[in-house]
Amino acid sequence: MPDSSVDGKVEGPSHGLAWQVSALAGCRLILNTARRFAYPFAPVLGRGLGVPLTWVTAMIAVNQATALLGIFLGPAADRFGYRLMMLVGLGMLIIGMFAAGFIPCYGTVMAGFFLAGLAKTIFDPAVQAYIGERVSFHRRGFVIGLVEFSWAGSTLAGIPLVAVMIDRFGWRSPFFLLGGFGLLGCIAIRLRIPSDGRAGNPRGSPAGIWKTWRRVMDERSAVGAIGFAFFSSIANDNLFVVYGAWLEKTFSVSVLALGLGTGIIGLAELTGESLTAVFSDRLGLKRSAIAGQILCVIAYSALPVSGFTLTAALCGLFVIFLIYEFTIVTSLSLCTELMPAFRATMMSCFFAAAGSGRVLGALIGGHAWLKGGIQMTGMVSAFFSGLGLIFLVWGLRGWEK
C-alpha cells in the first residue's frame, strides 16, 4: 500500500517504516534484557564472581543511575542525529557485554552493567525522537506502543532465554549472547535507519545545551510531564520492590510462585502496551494519559483490598501494572510532541526524571512496607501517583497539538 504523508511524516501504512520499527524494537529488546536480567539472577552472578549479594545490587544501582546522565546526552542526539546516537549506544552495550564475558572480575562486570545502562540511556531518547520526527501525531501512540513491546518482551522472552543460557553454558554466557545480538542490532540500524546527521547545530554546544534546558523548563507542558514521570515512577517502584515480600509473607508462596508473579507482571506490561497501540490514538493521547493516571490512583488505593487470596492479589498486581504501562507508554507518545524542536532533549529529561523516581521509590518502598505492610504501600503509591496526576493535568491544561 502506498505511503501518504503530511509535512514529511508517515500517515498511513509503510513497508519501510514497518522494517524500521521492527529493527528499533529488536534493539530495545536487547538493551532492556541487558538492563533487567541482573535482578532475578543476582545470586547467580554473586556466586560466579565470588562476591556477596550486596555487591551485585550495587552493580544494579549503578546500572539504573545512568538514567540521570540522559539530560546531558539528549542534546547530543538533537545535534548529531538520532541514528548516530543509536549506534553509539549499541556500541557501548557491545563493549560492556563482551568485556564482562571475557574478563569475569567484579570491576569489569560492574563496568559492563554501567555501559549497558548508559547504552539504554543514549538509545531510548533517540528512538522516541526519531519516531516523533517520522510518524504523524495521530498515529504515534500506535507506533510507540509497538516499539514498547520490547519492555514486556525482555521479561517474557529475554530473561527466560538468559536463564537457559546460564543453565547450559554458565553465568558468563549471557554477556556473550547480548554482545552478539548487539552487533546484529548495529547492522540492522545501519541497514534500516536512514542517516539524519545534524552536525553544526549550535544546540550541541555547551551554551546551546544550557539554552535547551532553559527552553524545556520554560515550557509548562514539559515541566508537567517531567513531574509526572518522577512521581509516577516513585509510586510504581514503591510497590515493585516489595511485591515479592508481600506475596511470600502473606501467602507463603514458593520461589516458583514468585516467578509466576513476575510472569504476570510481564503479561500485564504486554497488555498495557497493546492497549496503547490499539486505543490511545483513537481516544486521544492527552485524554488517555490523564484517564490512565486517574485509574492508577484508584488501583493503588484498592490494592490492600485484593490481599485476601493469592489469586486476588495476583489479579490486583496485574491490573496495576497494566494500567501503569498503558499510562506511561501513552505519555511517552505524547511527550514526543511537547518540544518538537528538542525531541531527544525532552525525552532524555523525561527518562532521567523517571529514573530518579525509581531510585527514590525503591528507597521509600522498603520503609513503607516495614512500617505498615501492603496497606501503607498502597497508600504511599496512591499519594505519589496523585501528585503525578496533578503535574500532568497542570502541564497539559490548554495544550493542543
284 Cβ contact list (under 8 Å, min separation 6): none
Q: How confident is the model at residue 200 (pLDDT cuts 50, 70, 90)?
A: very low
Give the separation between CA 224 and CA 222, rounded to whole angstroms: 5
- CA distances 96 to 99, 160, 238, 365, Å, are 5, 21, 30, 30
* pLDDT confidence of residue 148: 87
Average pLDDT over residues 116-132: 91
Each residue of 128-173: pLDDT tens digit?
A: 889 988 888 888 888 988 898 998 888 888 888 888 898 899 999 9
**Which of 3-12, 185-194, 206-215, 216-225 bottoms out in mean pLDDT, i.e. has the lowest?**
3-12
Stated length of the chain: 401
Confidence band of 3 (pLDDT split at 50, 70, 90): very low
User: What are the extents of the domains in the chain?
Assistant: 1-190, 203-396
Whether the pLDDT of residue 5 is over 50: the answer is no
Res 8: pLDDT: 47
pLDDT of residue 301: 96
The pLDDT, as a whole number, for residue 22 is 92
Structure confidence at residue 286 as a pLDDT band (50, 70, 90): very high
> 3-state class of 10 per DSSP?
strand
- Fold match, 1-190 / 203-396: yes
The answer to whether 349 touches 226, Cβ cutoff 8 Å, is yes
Class of domain 203-396: mainly alpha
For the residues of 178-196, what is the DSSP string, one character each? HHHHHHHHHHHHHHHSPP-
Q: Which three three-digit cell numbers place residue 207?
A: 551554551
CA 313, CA 45: separation in Å to the nearest integer? 30
pTM as predicted: 0.79
Q: Report residue 259 as a C-alpha cell.
A: 516467578
3-class DSSP state of 309 = coil
Superfamily of domain 1-190, CATH level 4: MFS general substrate transporter like domains (1.20.1250.20)
Which whole-number Å values give the CA distances from 203 to 86, 134, 187, in the listed order? Answer: 19, 21, 29
| Lowest model confidence (mean pLDDT) among 9-13, 24-28, 63-67, 297-301 | 9-13
pLDDT at residue 258, rounded to an integer: 66
Q: Average per-residue pLDDT in the chain?
A: 87
More confident: 196 or 81:
81
User: Can you list the pairs that 167-174 forms with residues at least 24 positions away whose Cβ atoms lie under 8 Å?
Assistant: 170/48, 171/41, 171/44, 171/45, 171/47, 171/48, 172/48, 172/100, 172/101, 172/104, 173/101, 174/37
**Average of pLDDT values for 270-297?**
94
For the segment 356-381, the average pLDDT, to the nearest whole number, is: 89
User: What confidence score (pLDDT) does residue 127 get?
Assistant: 92
Kindly state the percentage of the chain with pLDDT values over 70. 91
To which residue does cell 487470596 refer?
Answer: 309
Q: How far is CA 243 from the centre of its chain?
A: 19
Out of 37-41, 54-58, 144-148, the most confident range is 144-148
